[in-house]
Amino acid sequence: MSIVEARTPDPKKFLKGATGDWEIVIGMEVHAQVTSEAKLFSGASTEFGKAPNANVSLVDAAMPGMLPVINEECVRQAIRTGLGLKAQINLKSVFDRKNYFYPDLPQGYQISQFKQPIVGEGKIILDMPDEQVEVGVERLHLEQDAGKSMHDQHPSMSFVDLNRSGVALMEIVSKPDLRSADEAKAYLTKLRIILRYLGTCDGNMDQGSMRADVNVSVRRPGEGFGTRCEIKNVNSIRFVGQAIEYEARRQMAILEDGGKIDQETRLFDAVKGETRSMRSKEEAHDYRYFPDPDLLPLEFSQAYVDELAADLPELPDDKKARFIADYGLSAYDADILVAEQASAAFFEQVAKGRDAKLAANWVINELFGRLNKEGHEVATSPVSADQLGGIIDLIKAGTISGKIAKDLFEIVWSEGGDPAAIVEERGMKQVTDLGAIEAVVDQIIAANPDKVAQAKEKPTLLGWFVGQVMKESKGKANPQAVNDLLKQKIGIE
């Protein structure tokens, strides 16, 4: 029994049917392309976007007499991934032939791992809004990808592109521990972040280097598992959520109508937002697995594993805990910052020697907001960490106000330059001279006697006066000084 099975079923996640509640049960098989310049059993390139059949060796094309040779880098990356998933690393594993016929599978079998995978059980922790969920990882095994059949190039023929044939995949199989579309999306998101931190898969789902097969079933709360359907090759996190929602309701409707669920493989139609039947679901015996006679069992030492473990980067959960402990950030802000290694590194450079909470606020709200709007990544940000840090220094020194800081950020984004020099050259310094501020305050109060009377009765109107003073001073007046002077002159405690 998995840890989520031991959880008390959560009524908030139940589907409401005409005859009562239903619980969704989800397991995922994620195919992640290994970061490697060569394929799993040949030296052919894995470069994306090449012309059809440009990256094909004699091994990939299954020419007679061609024998596979294991790529050590792919093995290393699989072990590192297993370590990142807190999983058992098996020092001996076996490659098997998974036999089936398909036009884009030249050998007539796929080299995969069946009973003895390279990585055993592990876990991934999900920080959901109301709880922390532990999802078990059943296994990770190495296998070669198939080619691609293309049906839209000619009206009466299909073509085969073998560029992906033989590319190394890690199939990461979860236990059936997920209970909602949101948990499934969070799982896939977290797994993708871990793989990218490790550098073992780029996670580019739009390029097919990370794809998910989603197993979905429904059951009455407290009952055993129902019959599952597998939704194949879903290539976006958003589509995973949509596919689960549709499929769960489809199954619920069939069962409430007195029907039964056929175990089958289905496809998700992103345009229609629905799943449709593809074929009956094969069982393991249908593939006639047997050890590949051309490949010896894969064996390595514990010392090799320990060496790889010692060289792992700081992973997202550890980095998040450190950001909360060392910088005093909220869990929410830490989550956003650690979602990408580059984002976390940028924040740490900005926060070094500065107010970390202020730095996090500027990085998340101003910088990330603008990057998303303009379609930039952190790596291509027009505002560097040093420049953003310079803006924060000017705020903390009282040289500029928050409003001026936003104007300054806009200038640096558009034109570049040193923030301090820009403030000096353009006369953007905050006015802290109480005499000058007081003159503006007196002017606004004298011009609005009716509002002064209202503010005495309703102190929240003080904000209107602050806005008027800031407008008159072109945003340069020190906001705290303005606030204090207004309270004093209007007579608000």
Residues 6+ apart with CB under 8 A from 375: none
- Looking at residue 33, its pLDDT comes to 98
Q: In the numeric block, which tokens belong to residue 396?
A: 């903390």
CATH architecture of 434-490: Orthogonal Bundle (1.10)
pLDDT in tens, the chain (493 residues): 444 455 678 888 999 999 999 999 999 999 999 999 999 999 999 999 999 999 999 999 999 999 999 999 999 999 999 999 999 999 999 999 999 888 889 999 999 999 999 999 999 999 999 899 999 999 999 999 999 988 887 888 999 999 999 999 999 999 999 999 999 999 999 999 999 999 999 999 999 999 999 999 999 998 999 999 999 999 999 999 999 999 999 999 999 999 999 999 999 999 999 999 988 766 766 889 999 999 999 999 999 999 999 999 999 999 999 999 999 999 999 999 999 999 999 999 999 999 999 999 999 999 999 999 999 999 999 999 999 999 999 999 888 888 889 999 999 999 999 999 999 998 888 766 567 677 877 888 888 888 777 777 777 777 787 788 778 777 777 777 777 777 777 777 6
Query: Given the DSSP bridges, would you call strands 229-234 and 264-269 parallel, antiparallel or unpaired?
Result: parallel
Query: Given the DSSP bridges, would you call strands 122-127 and 159-161 parallel, antiparallel or unpaired?
Result: unpaired
Q: In sequence order, what DSSP letters do the residues of 326-341 get, joined into one string?
A: HH---HHHHHHHHTSH
Q: In sequence order, what DSSP letters do the residues of 35-81 get, joined into one string?
A: --SB-SSS--B--TTPPTTSS--TTTTT-TT------HHHHHHHHHH
CB contact at 8 A, 320 and 358: no
- Looking at residue 2, its pLDDT comes to 45
Q: In what order do the strands lie in the sheet with 109-112?
A: 109-112, 96-99, 290-291
Distance CA 315, CA 327 (A): 17
Per-domain residue ranges of the chain: 11-308, 312-425, 434-490
Expressed in angstroms, the distance from the first to the final Cα of the chain is 62
Of 142, 20, 11, 144, give the one whose Cα is nearest residue 75: 142
Element spanning 271, H or E: none
- φ, ψ (nearest 5 deg) of residue 110: -110, 135
- Tens-place pLDDT, residues 106-147: 999 999 999 999 999 999 999 999 899 999 999 999 999 999
Which single residue is written with the structure tokens 């020194």? Answer: 397
- Tens-place pLDDT, residues 281-329: 667 668 899 999 999 999 999 999 999 999 999 999 999 999 999 999 9
pTM over 0.85, yes/no = yes
- Looking at residue 431, its pLDDT comes to 62
- Looking at residue 3, its pLDDT comes to 43
